């Protein structure tokens, strides 16, 4: 998608809590320093290697890009693995901002956040709290669970709830998590179980991503509503939603575009379509134009 000839990538690391978040910084070679910078955070159980193309595309447009793995995932440290802690991931984002802000080649007044799915909810939450954020892109963002998940039967819901309770008890007892699949086939015990999700996962090429998660995280996510503070964000916000999204419902995601400088962009696709090459190309072009307009 983007030529890497004029992009320099370097491995980076920063402390977060007692652990280390590891990532990559993509720097434009020919643009004038200091660069604006966008920090990219992945979605539910995601890993940063899936964001390399996005980072390269933004860097090719003159904006430095920083990707990282949340604690307990991918290349970052943290035990036990594959455990999502909302507050920790928000802190990871803030520590990524602190890291970027002291880099001599980055303009600390022009740091933006980009997040997809669960990460899309995180960038809203962080921007509402942190005055260092200059712009936000929230892609198919999480803003709470729907009352009923389309396509999931009552029996399947009860199986998932049982796994959640068993896993959180194991957490209290400091035992190994009771992992389940993050993505599965329809009817399978998984957080997301649909033909669309399964096809997307089958097409993934990732050395870091693992299709498992500690389901205790879903209790935190039940209480997590980034939309409660979205109206507080005073900087430009771009919210990208899918008209046919069943995972992060558009009706909920649209509630994140309530700030005075918020823009809502709706695409006639479903949640996982945002990762298809053709749709991804169009969305990235729109997002890069938004960031260039507000940061350069």
Q: Could you tell me if 204 and 280 are in contact, meaning their C-beta atoms sit under 8 angstroms apart?
A: no
* Residue 83 located in a structural domain: yes
* Residue 268 located in a structural domain: yes
pLDDT of 205 reads 66
Cβ atoms within 10 Å of 236's Cβ, excluding its own: 20
Q: What phi-psi label fits residue 54: left (phi over 0), alpha (psi between -120 and 50 degrees) or beta? A: alpha
pLDDT of 150 reads 61
* Residue 242 located in a structural domain: yes
Q: What is the pTM of this model?
A: 0.94
- Residues sharing a CB contact under 8 Å with residue 140, sequence separation 6 or more, in sequence order: 116, 117, 120, 240, 241, 242, 245, 247, 248, 253, 271, 274
How many distinct structural domains can be found in the chain?
1
* Residue 189 located in a structural domain: no
For the cut 60, the answer to whether the pLDDT of residue 2 exceeds it is no
* Residue 191 located in a structural domain: no
**Domain that includes residue 257, residue range:** 7-146+223-295
Torsions phi, psi of 105, nearest 5? -85, 0
Whichever domain contains 48, its CATH number is 3.40.50.1820
For the chain, what is the mean pLDDT?
92
* Residue 21 located in a structural domain: yes
* Residue 192 located in a structural domain: no
pLDDT in tens, 162-177: 999 999 999 999 999 9
pLDDT of 125 reads 98
């Amino acid at each position: 998608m983007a030529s890497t000839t004029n992009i320099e990538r370097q491995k980076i690391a920063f402390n977060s809590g007692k652990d280390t978040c590891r990532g990559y910084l993509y720097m434009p070679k020919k643009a004038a320093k200091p660069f604006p910078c966008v920090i990219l955070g992945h979605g539910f159980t995601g890993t940063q290697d899936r964001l390399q193309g996005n980072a390269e595309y933004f860097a090719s447009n003159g904006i430095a890009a920083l990707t990282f793995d949340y604690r307990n995932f991918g290349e970052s440290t943290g035990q036990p693995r594959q455990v999502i802690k909302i507050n920790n991931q928000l802190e990871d984002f803030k520590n990524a901002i602190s890291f970027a802000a002291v880099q001599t080649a980055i303009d600390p007044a022009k740091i933006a956040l980009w997040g997809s799915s669960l990460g899309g909810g995180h960038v809203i939450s962080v921007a509402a709290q942190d005055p260092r954020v200059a712009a936000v892109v929230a892609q198919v963002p999480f803003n709470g669970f729907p009352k009923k998940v389309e396509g999931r039967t009552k029996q399947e819901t009860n199986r998932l709830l049982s796994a959640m309770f068993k896993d959180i008890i194991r957490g209290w007892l400091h035992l190994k998590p009771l992992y389940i699949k993050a993505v599965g086939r329809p009817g399978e015990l998984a957080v997301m179980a649909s033909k669309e999700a399964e096809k997307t996962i089958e097409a993934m090429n990732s050395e870091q991503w693992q299709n498992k998660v500690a389901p205790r995280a879903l209790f935190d996510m039940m209480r997590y509503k980034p939309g409660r503070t979205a109206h507080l964000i005073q900087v430009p916000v771009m919210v990208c939603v899918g008209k046919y999204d069943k995972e992060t419902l558009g009706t909920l995601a649209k509630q994140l575009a309530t700030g005075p400088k918020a823009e809502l962009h709706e695409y006639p696709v479903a949640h996982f379509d945002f990762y298809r090459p053709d749709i991804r190309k169009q969305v990235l072009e729109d997002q890069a134009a938004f960031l260039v307009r507000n940061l350069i």
